[in-house]
Amino acid sequence: MRIDELPAHSDIWESDSDNPLGFLPRPDSLGSLDFLSGGVKVMSLNLPTDADMVEYLKDGIPGHDEHGFHRTPTLDILILLEGELSLELDDGLTSMKPGDVVVQRNTNHAWRNTGDKPARCFSVICSPVNGLNTER
């Protein structure tokens, strides 16, 4: 499977605590921000330009506020493959270029794509078995 041949959003592989080596994605989980306990989800994503995102947000995106902010109780690893992308957190904005990697842990965040084409990303999202311990 070549990542440049995948659809705009493609779940590639998934696992859970009962099946740590994983399985092909469940049809009901495609594009979902609900993650299996103790699981891992591997995805290819095309994040839309800010201009397109404004239109999507007008219609509402489950789990996102009107500015695109959302929080997932997961450990997320994202690699920017193509395009322009910034990660906006509560305390600032971090710009990314192709080849950059970001690791985020249970953060309230939004993606910003100021470019003129979707930003292609590869992402691995890990969901702890017993939720997140945010005490550290």
Which pair of tokens denotes residue 82?
Answer: 């193509």
CA distance 5 to 32: 21
CB atoms within 10 A of CB 5: 8
For the stretch 28-81, pLDDT in tens is: 766 666 777 889 999 888 888 888 887 777 777 777 787 888 887 889 999 999
For residue 127, give both structure tokens. Answer: 């969901």
- List the one residue out of 118, 50, 40, 109 whose CA is nearest residue 80: 118
Q: What's the token pair of residue 42?
A: 């591997």
What is the Cα–Cα distance from 18 to 57, expressed in whole angstroms? 35
Question: Rounded to whole angstroms, what are the CA distances from 62 to 22, 56, 111?
Answer: 26, 11, 15
Q: What is the pTM of this model?
A: 0.81
pLDDT digits (tens, 9 = 90+) for 90-101: 899 999 999 999
**Integer Cα distance of 112 and 68 in angstroms:** 9
Written as six digits, the tokens of 131 are: 């939720």
Amino acid at 67: H
